[in-house]
Amino acid sequence: MNFWESKKLSEMSTKEWESLCDGCAKCCLNKLEDEDTEEIFFTRVVCDLIDLESCQCTKYQERTTLVPECINLTQHDFSEYTWLPDTCAYKLLSDGKTLPSWHPLITGSRESVFNVGASIRSFAIKESQVDDLEDHIIEWG
């Protein structure tokens, strides 16, 4: 049995926890929240620290210092992370669901997330190139 099938998120080692990230970088997209409804809207605008080809943070260890609003996902109650995309392994496992068939832990390849179009690689733009986030709201298909 795989560790993600036998352990709770809170029981995982740091290495196991980090390996759950599929590398899609959707969590690094800028989001807007409707103040009245609390609905979250994703934009195609991503943090300037993201490498758009690899979808990896170029300053991962320093990210929360360099970008104070960057969220450091930790191993606790995920109910507050309602904004995570539906494909996020942390959200899926927290909700008692399984990893998607294209997840790198299933396929053994980091490229699988790109091959199925589950990453931001094909549509994201850097926040330094944008004036108004509202012009870049996206809907997941």
Pairing of strands 56-57, 50-51: antiparallel
Sequence spans of domains, the chain: 7-129
- What's the pLDDT tens digit per position in 33-70? 999 998 889 999 999 999 999 999 999 989 989 998 88
Contacts of 64 (CB under 8 A, 6+ apart): 70, 72
CB 76, CB 54: distance < 8 Å: no
Could you tell me the pTM of the whole model?
A: 0.88
